[in-house]
Structure 1
Amino acid sequence: MTAGPMVIVFLGPPGAGKGTQAARLAADLSLVKISTGDILRDHVARGTELGRKVAPIMERGELVPDELILAIIREELSRMKEVRAIFDGFPRTTRQAEALDELLAELRAPVNATVLLEVPEEELIRRMLKRAELEGRADDNEETIRRRLEVYRQQTQPLIDYYSARGVLKRVDGVGDPGQVYCRIREVI
C-alpha cells in the first residue's frame, strides 16, 4: 500500500501517541502529516490573518469553527500533486468527517484506513502529566486532562461509529513501547 493516493486518519484520545505514530507512518509511506493544531499554532505564531482570527478562540479553549478548519484542509490538499496524507487531530466531529469525505471524493482519494489508538484513561492521564512536566505545560493538570478526555469521548464516539460503518476503522492497542505500537499499526495498514 505505497503507490497512488492514500489517506489515513488517526483517532485517539489526547496522550495516545497519535502525533508520534502518525509522523513515523508518514515518513515510512511518503505521506504528508496534516495536523490542524500544528497548522493553527503556526499561523498564530506568524501573525497571519487566519492566526489573528483563531488566536482568541484557541486561548479560550474553544474549537475553531468547521469552516476555517475545512478551508485549511482544502488548502493543504490542493498543494499536493497526488493526495497522500495522514490526518492527525482531524476530523473531530462527524460533520467534519462528512465534509472531508466530500473533499476527498472531489480529489479521488478516499480514506484508506482510520487508525484508532486505544489507551486506558489512567495511562493517558499518567502520560499527559509526565508530558506537562517535561514540556512545562501548566494547562495540563489532572482536572484539565480529565475534562479534555470527557470532551474527546463525547465527540469521538460518533466518529468511531462513522468510520466503522464505512469499513475502514482499525483498532490498535496503544499501550506499550512506541515501537511495539507502531508494529501493530503497520499490521493493520
Structure 2
Amino acid sequence: MSAPAPRPSRIVLLGPPASGKGTQGRRLAEAFGLGYLSTGALLREQVENGTELGRQAEPILARGGYLPDDLMNPILADWLERKNDAGWVLDGFPRSLPQALFLEEWLADHGHSLDAAVSLEVPFGDLLERTRNRVECPACRWSGQKSQLVSGELCPKCGSPAGPRADDDEENFRNRHSEFTTLTGPAIEHFRRAGILHAVDATAPQDQVAADILASFASAEAPN
C-alpha cells in the first residue's frame, strides 16, 4: 500500500474580484494549519497608515488597477523571508504570469516549490452582485456580505463597525475584472499546464465551496 501524499504547504489562491478569496483563503489556511496572506488587505492597510508604499499604491487601487510587478514582488518577497520555511496560503498573489514566475523562482532559490494553485470560478453577473453587497471590517479585516453583519452594521467576528470598501464601486469592479482576465488568466493557465491547478466552482454557499476545495485536494492525493 502506497503512503498518502503529504498535505500541500505552499498554495496560491486565484480568482476574480468578489469570488470569495478572503473567506476561502482563511478557511484553507486553517484547515491545513498554514499561514495566510491577503495582499489586498495588506495594501489597504498601507494606504490607511499613509506609508510610502501606501502613497504609491493608493491611486492605482483607487482606479481598480493592479500594482506593477516592481512594487508587488518586493513586498511579497519580504513577507516570504519573514515566514522562513513555514507553509502559507497566498490570496491575491500572483496576479500576473510574471509574478507567478517570480514566485516560482524565489521558491526554487530557497529550496522549495509551489504545491498547488486554487482557482475560484464565478460568473461575471454573480460577482457584480456580490460586489454591490460586500463589506469589510477595518479592525480585523474580516470581509463578507451585508447580510452577515450583526445588527446591520457590526462585524460578526470582532464586533467592530464594518461597511463597504472604498474601492467597491461598479466601475472599479469592472476595471479589476478586466485586469484579472487579461493579467491573471495567463497565470492560471500556467498553473494548469504545470498540473497543480485546482479549479473550483465558487458559486455555492461558503461551506460548500470550502468542502469542495478540500475535496479537490483529497482527490489529487488519492492513489491511482
Is the TM-score greater than 0.5? yes
- Taking a change above 3 Å as real, the CA distance of residues 38 and 56 of structure 1, as seen in their structure-2 partners, is same
Counterpart in the other structure of 2:187: 159
The one-character-per-residue Cα deviations of 1:26-67 (angstroms, maximum 9, x if unpaired) are 122121112222222222222333223333433344332212
Counterpart in the other structure of 2:133: 130
Say which is worse superposed, 123-132 or 103-112, in terms of deviation: 123-132
Matched, 1:12 2:40: no
Matched, 1:116 2:156: no
Compare CA radii of gyration and give the structure with the larger one. 2
Tell me how far apart the structure 2 counterparts of residues 26 and 168 of structure 1 sit (CA, whole Å): 17
- Taking a change above 3 Å as real, the CA distance of residues 183 and 61 of structure 1, as seen in their structure-2 partners, is closer
The one-character-per-residue Cα deviations of 1:111-130 (angstroms, maximum 9, x if unpaired) are 11111111112111111112
Instruction: Give, in angstroms, the shift of residue 137 of structure 1.
Output: 4.2
Secondary structure in 1 aligned to 2:188? helix
Unaligned runs of 5+ in 1: none
Paired AA for residue 19 in structure 2:
A
Q: Do the aligned residues in 1 keep the contact of 2:64 with 2:176 (CA within 8 Å)?
A: no
Tell me how far apart the structure 2 counterparts of residues 128 and 52 of structure 1 sit (CA, whole Å): 25
Which aligned pairs between 1:1-189 and structure 2 lie closer than 5 A?
1-2=6-7, 6-131=9-134, 134=146, 135-137=163-165, 139-189=167-217
Q: What percent identity do the matched residue pairs reach?
A: 41
Paired AA for residue 65 in structure 2:
E
Unaligned runs of 5+ in 2: 1-5, 136-144, 147-162, 218-224
Counterpart in the other structure of 2:149: none
Q: CA RMSD in A?
A: 2.1
Q: TM-score, normalised by structure 2?
A: 0.75
Q: TM-score, normalised by structure 1?
A: 0.88
- Taking a change above 3 Å as real, the CA distance of residues 141 and 53 of structure 1, as seen in their structure-2 partners, is closer
- Taking a change above 3 Å as real, the CA distance of residues 168 and 46 of structure 1, as seen in their structure-2 partners, is same
Q: Do the aligned residues in 2 keep the contact of 1:83 with 1:109 (CA within 8 Å)?
A: no
* Residue correspondences, number: 187
Instruction: Give, in angstroms, the shift of residue 174 of structure 1.
Output: 0.6
Secondary structure in 1 aligned to 2:83? coil
Q: Which contiguous aligned blocks of 4+ residues in structure 1 show a shift greater than 4 angstroms?
A: none
